[in-house]
Chains A and B, each alone.
Chain A
Amino acid sequence: MLPQSVLSLWEAIRTANEGPELLLDPDLKLWALIPISIVMILVGVAKQCIMVLVSPKSKTVPRVKLTEILYITKARVLLGNGSNLSSESFQMRQEYLAQVLSEGKYLAIKPNENEKAKIENPFTNSSMTDAMTSMAMGNLVNYIPQTIIMWWVNYFFAGFVLMRLPFPLTIRFKQMLQSSVMTDDLDVRWVSSMSWYIISMGGLTPVYNILLGGSNLDKLDVSAQQQQLSQIPGGPSPQDQMKSLANDITVFQHVSVLDDIEDRVLKLYS
């Protein structure tokens, strides 16, 4: 049992700032609230589909370039997860990778050719321009529907109070949330259709995630990013990366999780 004073305080908090009660036409829900929601969800789904269609097709990378990237990745992975290997296996990989990387055996552009094409203009590189075009398209696809829906809501659903928010707001929001309702002293909780648009614009991201699964798109992005990561203009050249990785691997202090594994297993089951 809660004491009476706590209960009354709770009641006071719950019903604070109630203000005068307005009677709204129930048809407003059917003809304004639900259409706006449906249109916003459908536009979001269409946006995702367009993004998939617009996104660049799987880019081809020359085999030598891929080998170079994968050898750099392999060295990083060995440094990161090497402790799971036994000492012998690690040593084998260590010697091999240190030798291959310091020699630059798998460089896509061999050092002597490198001097000719010293600094490549990023705008002549086709993969870079592709990425930029898709980025611009993505911005456009995000920006245009937003403007159109905002205009649509403002044009068709203006001039009435649509709903009451379940939480109080400060008077500052009046300008934005009651834009087309010409009242001076109506409580800010009574808002027009524009505010439902604003609220659902923020809140629909989780809904899209549930509706579309989201995972497929993310995977596409990650693989595209990984390929671009190695091609950042102005970053260290692959040759330098390989050299420094070779150094790192040579001086790496290897501690294996498999050291004394027999003793530990015996101790575990003794």
Chain B
Amino acid sequence: MSYRFTGLQSADSGSFNNSKLLQIHDTTMLTAGLSAGILQLQSFAGFGMFFAVYTFVNLLFISWLCQFRPGLYFSDPIHTIWVKNLFRELAGFIMTWTLAFTLVR
């Protein structure tokens, strides 16, 4: 068992972590939307791809960047990682998906 700083919460590091997570979400989800459009996925397949990629990216984020300890970096890890950016990323995904879908056809 390792002893770390307990309850260390600085507003700066919190917002830095949040912006890093947001940037990762934004980039990956916009790219995923482009790929879904290029693959000509429709309706359920496209939304399925969104949730699959979203889950995959989050698991990768938790395991790789957070070293399985998201609680150290976020005060409310489940809400911040899974819920907070969901609709924003969904809107971005739909936009790039529609764009690529139309351009490729």
State the A residues within 8 Å of B (CB): 13-17, 29, 33, 37, 80-81, 83-84, 162-168, 196, 199-200, 202-207, 209-210, 214-215, 218-219, 222, 257, 264
Which of A37, A202, A209, A215 interacts with B99 by CB under 8 Å? Answer: A37
Name 17 extra pairs, CB < 8 A, besides A14-B41, A37-B99, A206-B26. A14-B44, A15-B42, A29-B102, A33-B99, A162-B102, A163-B98, A166-B37, A166-B40, A166-B41, A166-B46, A199-B94, A199-B95, A200-B95, A204-B92, A206-B25, A206-B89, A257-B6
Please name all residues of chain B whose beta carbon is closer than 8 Å to the beta carbon of A215 when the two chains form the complex: 19
Q: Mark B1-26, 1 if CB is under 8 A from A, else 0.
A: 00101111101000100010011011
* Contacting pair A166 B42 (CB below 8 A): yes
Q: Is the interface of A mostly helix, strand, loop or mixed?
A: helix
* Contacting pair B105 A164 (CB below 8 A): yes
Q: Using C-beta atoms within 8 Å of the partner chain, give the interface range for chain B.
A: 35 or more
A122 to B5, CA, bound (A): 41
B84, CB-defined interface residue at 8 Å: no
Q: Is the interface of B mostly helix, strand, loop or mixed?
A: helix
A204 to B92, CA, bound (A): 6
* Contacting pair A163 B102 (CB below 8 A): yes
Please name all residues of chain B whose beta carbon is closer than 8 Å to the beta carbon of A214 when the two chains form the complex: 19, 22-23
Chain B: minimal CB distance from A195 (Å): 9
In the complex, residue of chain A having the shortest beta-carbon distance to the beta carbon of B44: A13
A40 to B7, CA, bound (A): 43
Please name all residues of chain A whose beta carbon is closer than 8 Å to the beta carbon of B54 when the two chains form the complex: none
A163 to B94, CA, bound (A): 14
B43, CB-defined interface residue at 8 Å: yes
